[in-house]
Amino acid sequence: MKKILILLAQEGFEEVEALTPADYLRRVGAKVDMISLGDSKIVRGAHQIQIVTDGTLKDISSENYDCIILPGGMPGASILQKDDRVIRIVEEFERNGKVIAAICAAPIVLDKAGVLKDRYYTCYPGVENEICFGKHVNKSVVKDETLITAKGPYLAGEFALKICETLFGTSIRNKLENEILFRSLDI
């Protein structure tokens, strides 16, 4: 069973960017742990939605996970970027060739951890100006080896599907797309 780690700042993360990947990955059988950086399991998103996480960072061992997901939003992404524990975990995932996924403003965390060097990425418009390394691409979702990045909230579904595809394969992604009616809307 694939194990996914979603790190949440105590406040200010984009709720849809955290919950959509959690939902989609659980639908395909992954064990997803939403983990708070703080001492409390209760976190509050950028739009004041409270979430009870599965635990706190001090309670887990990051080496037990196959993928890390970093939601954006402010000040959430900034809080992740300033936390040395988060940077160490991202560096560890990079060293071990594990899947690293960041959306919206969260690529600033990847930049600080040195993950973007010589890699393609995307982010929320304007955030690329805060990033020193990497090759910015103006696309919705970008995959470069085990690195997955996306622009922002509206793309949380595409982002989550790309993570599913990377971890479980195209057939599982296609099955999930059918189940959630991803491409079947009559608009």
Q: Which residues are catalytic?
A: 104
**10 Å Cβ neighbour count for 17?**
30
For 85, the 3-state DSSP assignment is helix
The span from the CA of 129 to the CA of 111, in Å, is: 11
Q: Are residues 20 and 159 in contact, defined by beta-carbon separation less than 8 angstroms?
A: yes
Q: Are residues 100 and 130 in contact, defined by beta-carbon separation less than 8 angstroms?
A: no
DSSP 118: T
The span from the CA of 164 to the CA of 43, in Å, is: 25
